[in-house]
């Protein structure tokens, strides 16, 4: 799995969770279960922007990545994950990074 990881300080997990969910909802991310993993997914583009967050200790760990379909029809059901760096799938990567930046500015 290729994901971009962020860790931010959190002083109020309950308040921050409400803020994070509000930002994700405003940016049209929907919560889904992906193979037993709770993630937020935006399907506005062909490549899907994905965000996952969890609280640990006095911080919030946020993972961001983009899922794309392989070009070969035989593997069409298997998504490929890409970290938020680079130019391929640029629009969903930018959306994901901007959403995480808004989360970072909002948390307390």
Tens-place pLDDT, residues 8-39: 999 999 999 999 999 999 999 999 998 899 99
CATH number, domain containing residue 59 = 3.30.310
pLDDT tops 70 at residue 100: yes
76/65: higher pLDDT: 65
Q: Structural domain tally of the chain?
A: 1
* Cross-strand pairs, 55: 60
Give this prediction's pTM: 0.88
**Locus of tokens 């990074």:** 97
Range of the domain at 86: 4-106
Whole-number pLDDT of residue 104: 97
The rounded distance, in Å, linking the Cα atoms of 9 and 78 is 34
């Amino acid at each position: 799995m290729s994901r971009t990881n962020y860790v931010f300080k959190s002083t109020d997990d309950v308040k921050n969770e409400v803020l994070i969910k509000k930002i994700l909802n405003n940016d049209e991310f929907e919560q889904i279960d992906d193979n037993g993993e709770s993630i937020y997914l935006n399907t506005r583009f062909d490549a899907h922007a994905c965000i996952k967050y969890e609280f640990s200790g006095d911080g919030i760990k946020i993972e961001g990545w983009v899922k794309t379909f392989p070009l070969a029809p035989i593997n069409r059901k298997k998504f490929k994950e890409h970290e938020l760096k680079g130019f391929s799938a640029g629009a969903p990567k930018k959306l994901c990074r901007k959403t995480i930046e808004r989360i970072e500015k909002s948390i307390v």
